[in-house]
Amino acid sequence: MKELVSLLLAGDESSSWSFICNLIEEKDSFFFFEDILTRSMRYIGELWENNEISVADEHVASNICNLLISRYNLQSSNETASLTVEGRPKAMVFCVQEEDHSIGAKMVSSIYKESGWDTRYLGANLPVKDSVIYANIWRPNVIGISLSLIYNLPTLLECLKELNQLDYNPEIIVGGRITSLYQLKNYWPSNIVVIEDLYQLRSWLKANKLCERVYAYN
């Protein structure tokens, strides 16, 4: 992992991709997103917290990570194009207002899309009112929200409160770094699903039979 981290911090997209391709041969998307990219970016976050790298270094690595995800998605979309069918379930994924750490949300969106869902990735820093308006219009089956920073928790709680008032009762899932660091289930409504990592998301999808293709990963 440290070799990949060094490549990410150096801004070397080409070498990072080549390195990753050797690691993920015969592996699935969950391995690529969770075991490779998430672990690498969390290690980079630790380096920043310990003042071993600068904010600029972290931004360079994040940008390369985003490019790698897009590159992987392009490859996956070519391989899974035949899975696109009418009437597939909808997933809406975003980060709350003031939350700019969107890599995790982008990974989750990729998983849904690869699994055959009609997916809308709304990115980082989405105002609460806009998330509610979009959900009311598009009416997704699942609304996925990612949060990394604890000081954005009040905004998340406001968002959950508003989304819980939607008249068609979508499944609401909260994920991100915050869910693996803190026990927060007492802070939000009991119907909210908390996902700590992508493997847990896979289990949830399988248990709720919301995706057929995900069965192929076992």
**Domain of residue 152, CATH code:** 3.40.50.280
Is there a single domain that holds both residue 92 and residue 154? yes
Residues of the chain under the 70 pLDDT cut: 77-86, 209-218
Do 127 and 185 belong together in one domain?
A: yes
Measured distance CA(72)–CA(10) in Å, rounded: 20
| 61 shares a domain with 20 | yes
Asked if residue 188 and residue 96 are part of one domain, the reply reads yes
Are the CB atoms for 80 and 176 separated by under 8 Å? no
- 110: containing domain: 86-217
Q: What is the largest CA-CA distance in the chain?
A: 50
User: What's the whole-number average pLDDT of the chain?
Assistant: 88
If asked whether residues 65 and 95 sit together in one domain, one would say no
Are residues 93 and 67 located together in one domain of the fold? Answer: no
- The contacts of residue 130 (CB under 8 Å, 6+ apart) are none
Q: Of all helices (H) and strands (E), which one includes residue 34?
A: none
pTM: 0.86
Q: What is the pLDDT of residue 181?
A: 80
What is the three-class DSSP state of 118? strand
- The 10s digit of each residue's pLDDT in 7-41 is 999 999 999 999 999 988 878 999 999 999 999 99
Residue (of 116, 119, 117, 107) closest to 34 by Cα position: 107
What's the confidence (pLDDT) of residue 216? 33
Domain's final residue, options 54, 79, 104: 79
Q: What is the Cα–Cα distance from 46 to 209, expressed in whole angstroms?
A: 36
Number of domains composing the chain = 2
Same domain, 103 and 205: yes
56 and 14: one domain?
A: yes
Give dist(CA 171, CA 211) in Å, integer: 14
| For the chain, percent of residues with pLDDT exceeding 90 | 69
3-state secondary structure string across 124-167: EEECHHHHHHHHHHHCCCEEEEECCCHHHHHHHHHHHHHHCCCC
Q: Which of 46, 79, 112 is the last residue of a domain?
A: 79
Q: Are residues 62 and 100 in the same domain?
A: no
Q: What is the pLDDT of residue 218?
A: 30
Q: How far apart are CA 138 and CA 50, in angstroms?
A: 43
Pairing relation of β-strands 118-126 and 90-96? parallel
